[in-house]
Structure 1
Amino acid sequence: MTDWKAFTVETENHVAQVTLIGPNKGNAMGPDFWRELPEIFTELDADPDVRAVVLAGSGKNFSYGLDLGAMSHLFGPLLADKALAAPRTDFHNTVKTMQASITAVADCRKPVIAAVQGWCIGGGVDLIAAVDIRYASADAKFSIREVKVAIVADMGSLQRLPAIIGDGHLRELALTAKDIDAARAEKIGLVNDVFDDADAVLAAAHATAREIANNPPLVVQGTKDVLGEERRTVVADNLRYVAAWNAAFLPSHDLTEAVSSVFEKREPDFKGE
C-alpha cells in the first residue's frame, strides 16, 4: 500500500482497517481525503487477500466533515458577482469527482463496516451512508449539517439514507441540521448497534469483519452486489441531479454569510438572498 496523507491502511487476516487521520482537526475532509479515498478503495477492491474492511476515525472523533478552510477555494469563483458558465462548470465537475470518491466506498465489492466515535458531521455522514454496516460508541453524535452552511448536501446522504433510516427521519435531520446522539441513531436505524467506547466499537467492527471474512468471498461479494442493485441507479441519478442543482443555485449571499460566520466564529444571519 502507498503512504497516504489522510489515511492509514493496515491488513491482517483478510480484514483491512482504513483509518481517517486528518491531517486537520477532527479528521476533516480536505483535498488529500477526496483524492486518496477512491484510490484506497479501488486497491482494496482488487486485493484478493482483503475480504472485509473496517472504516474508522483516529482520535476522539470520526470526522468533522468537509474541511471548509482547505476546500474554500471551491466556493470563491462561485461567489464572485455574476458567476458565469465556466466557474459553474468547474464546480459541477468537482462535485461529481468528490461524489465519485464516496461512491468508491459503496461500490467496493468487499463489505465495509464503519466504527464511529465522537462527532460524525456532514461529509462524515455521507461516508458512513456508503458503507454496509455502521456501529457507534456511546459518545457518538451525528449531524447532517450542510443546510446550516447554506449548502444542499450533495455527497450521498440524501440519496443513500432513505433506504437506511426512512424518508421521515432523513427529512427531519437534513432540514433541521440537528445533532443526534448514538441512542437516537440506533433507534432510527442509522447505526446497527452502540458500544461503550471507541475501543469497544472498533473491536465489534473487527469481530463482524472477521465473521464476514470467514464466509466464501465470492458469495459475499455477490450478496453485496445483489443487495445494492435496486438502489444503485436511483442513487446515481439523484447524485447527478444534486450536482447540477448546486452548480446552478448554490451561489448566494447566504453561502457567503455561512462561510464568513464559520471563520469569524459567530452565528450566521441568513437573508434568503
Structure 2
Amino acid sequence: MNISSSVSTQVLDQKMILVGLESNLAMIEFNLDTEVIWVNNHFAQALGYTISEMKSMVHEQFCPSNFINSKEYNQLWDNLKKGIKFQKKIQRVDKKGNLVWFEATYIPIKNEKGVVDAVLKIATDITKRENQTREVISHLKNLSIDLGGKVDVNSQENMKALQSLKEQINLVSEIAQMIKDISAQTNILSLNAAIEAARVGEHGRGFAVVAEEVRRLASNVDGAIKKINLNVESITNGVTIVSNVTGKLQREVIDNQIEISKTMEHFENVVE
C-alpha cells in the first residue's frame, strides 16, 4: 500500500497500526485518476469482487449512477486532490448491482513534497444495520397508517351510530309531545264531561264517573311523559358527551399520527 506522509511522534509502531487497520477494516487506495491501485480483502468481499478484479477498475464503477452524474461527485474528487478529506455514510454498488452502505473516510495521501498523489479510503460495511433500521422505520410507518385507518373507520362508525341515536331520540321526543297533546285534549274532554254531568244532575252520574276515569288516565299519561322527557334529556346529554369525547379522541389520534410522521421523517434524515 502506497502511503507516505509526515506524521507526529507516537508510541505505537506505524507498521503495526497499518496492519491492525488492514486486518479489521475495508480499505482501498486510488490514484488521482480514480483508478484502484491497492485494495484489501475486506473491501473486495464487501462488494463481491476478488482483489485481482478490482485492481483494473475505477472509482465510479462502484458508485450509483445518480451520484456519478452529480455535482457532489466532481466536488468529492476536486476536494480530495486539494488535500481535503471526506467522511460520511455512503452508498456504493456491488458486483451484482445491489446497494451497499459504508461508513467511510477518504484520506488524501501526500508525498514527500506535500503534494497529494493518492487517496486512501477506509470503510466499515454497515449494510445490514442500515437495512434493519429502514425495515424498522417502514414497519413503524405502516403501523401508524394502519392505526390511523382503523381509528378513522371506528370514529366514522361511532359518529354514524351517535347520529342514528340522536335521530331516534328526536323521534321519541316527537311521539312524547304528540301523546302530551292528546292528553291535554283528553283533559279538556273530561272537563266538558264533568260540566255536562253537573248540568244534567242525577242523570249525568255516568258522565261524571267516565270523566273522573279519563282525568285519572290523563294524569298518569302526564306523569309518564315527564319521565320520558327526563330520560330523553339524560340520554341526549350522554350522547353529546360521547360525541364530544369521540371527536376529541379523533383529533388527538390525528395529531399523534402527524407527530409520528414528523418523528419518522426526522429519524430518516438522521439515517441518511
Higher relative contact order, chain-length normalized (CA < 8 Å, sep 6+): 1
TM over 0.5: no
TM-score of the two chains, using structure 1 as the length reference: 0.21
TM-score (norm 2): 0.21
